[in-house]
Homo-oligomer: A and B are copies of this chain.
Amino acid sequence: MKKEIIKPSILPGFMELLPNEQEKFNDIVNKILNVYEKNGCLDIDTPIIEKANVLLAKTGGETEKQVYSFTKGKNDLTLRFDLTVPFARYVAQHYNELTFPFRRYQLGKVYRGERNQKGRYREFYQCDIDVIGKDKLAIENDAWVISLASKAFKEIKLKDYKFQISNRKILKGILKGLKIENSNEVMMLIDKYDKIGKGKFIEELTFLIGNEKTLYLSDILDIKGSNKEVVESLERLNIKEDYFIEGVNELKKVNEILKVLGVEENEFEINLKIIRGLDYYTGTVFETLLIGNETYGSICSGGRYDNLAENYTDKILPGVGISIGMTRLFFVLKEIGFIENYNVKGKLNYLIIPIGDTLEYCGTVMKSLEKKGYGVTIYFEEDSLKKKMNYANKLGIENVILIGEEEKIKNEVKVKNMTLGKEFVTDYNNL
């Protein structure tokens, strides 16, 4: 009886890579995490499934609709849809056992049942840093988390990214000064500015706040110049609202500290149109654009919030965080041709190919190379030499060691460099 064959496939909206691309993905992730660790971030790992009532404490509307929820036995369960909510739960739960300021990073898969379209994923890796203080947290941290993103991008040799930085307090102060009642609607409109374009923006803003205030506000949003000049222009507005003054001072400070921490002037710019949605952020906000490829949107975003875990604890836990959507970043980097040219130095340095009955000697050579720290393995199948060499070629292995009876007797090895196509014979101890 013939077995029924089920067509192997995965769900739409899920990314699965072939080994060659997986190696590149891993290398990029590992380099970024290495930067985070060398800068003192501690890793945490939280469950992918959590209690629905805990994970959905704060959400509603759009998020809740996208969430993967189900029951198992008597439990209502939810798959995490970001790393921030589980982190808030983690900090509240383990509060007494953590050292503050708590600088943590986390890499993990999150789940959102988004509409299926190119470049949008339902399962994707997010990679977050957050620094959480007890009651207070210095503004320097806002610059510090951005500086880590900068170091991470430099580490993977990504160019042409530009951090777009603002501070929510600035607009809040301006809108307050203008006595605008429907400030949330205005903020939401500014959030859409780059999507809808200036013409449409002015039109809709005029509808919301009238002609005069629209002109005043859009002039501010359009302030051009170096970062220093933008700050000076803002100061010259001479707005007396506390929020505004605080926001400009924080933005100025973040600008200064960024440079102290090694972020170059050309890596970032002030962009007052950056909002990052309505909830959550309260001070510094930022996004990251790829210059020349702005249409892909932000590849790394974040900001400052007043209180991380108010749903889970009475403690006041201000924080600042950044997030990279790794799966989406990888998609974008493929689209712009970065991945194609991204080279990973594999850890397998030598493939040993036995010819004839030489396996024991091959083992000796392998152990010798391993002792020296090399990555090495043996090809075990009985195939033609052509097929064996083809295997090394396909896997991109740099050096092949051929060991036949002659090499075994003479205690030698024949090494073939696959890139240069050159062969030489040597004592294996010389490798």
Contact = CB atoms under 8 A, between A and B. Distances in A.
Given A49-B111, A363-B260, A380-B140, A311 B5 contact: yes
A16 B47 contact: yes
Interface in A1-26: 3, 5-11, 14, 16-19, 22-23, 25-26
A11 B50 contact: yes
Most B CB atoms within 10 A — which of A10, A137, A314, A382?
A10
Given A39-B376, A99-B391, A257-B359, A22 B44 contact: yes
B382 A3 contact: no
Contacts of A403: none
Nearest to A101: B381
A94 interface: yes
A375 B39 contact: yes
Given A18-B97, A23-B42, A314-B5, A10 B50 contact: yes
A424 interface: no
5 contacts: A5-B312, A10-B50, A16-B45, A39-B375, A261-B366
Nearest to A309: B8
Given A10-B51, A313-B5, A347 B37 contact: yes
A104 interface: yes
B49 A14 contact: yes
B38 A376 contact: yes
A131 to B, nearest CB: 9
A414 interface: no
Nearest to A3: B310
A75 interface: yes
A133 interface: yes
Interface string A22-60: 110110000000100111101111111111011001000
Nearest to A131: B380
Interface string A133-164: 10011101100100000000000000000000
Q: Which of A47, A54, A68 has the most CB of B within 10 A?
A: A47
A395 interface: yes
A345 to B, nearest CB: 11
Nearest to A91: B8
Interface string A342-381: 0000111001000000011011001100100011111011
Nearest to A45: B22
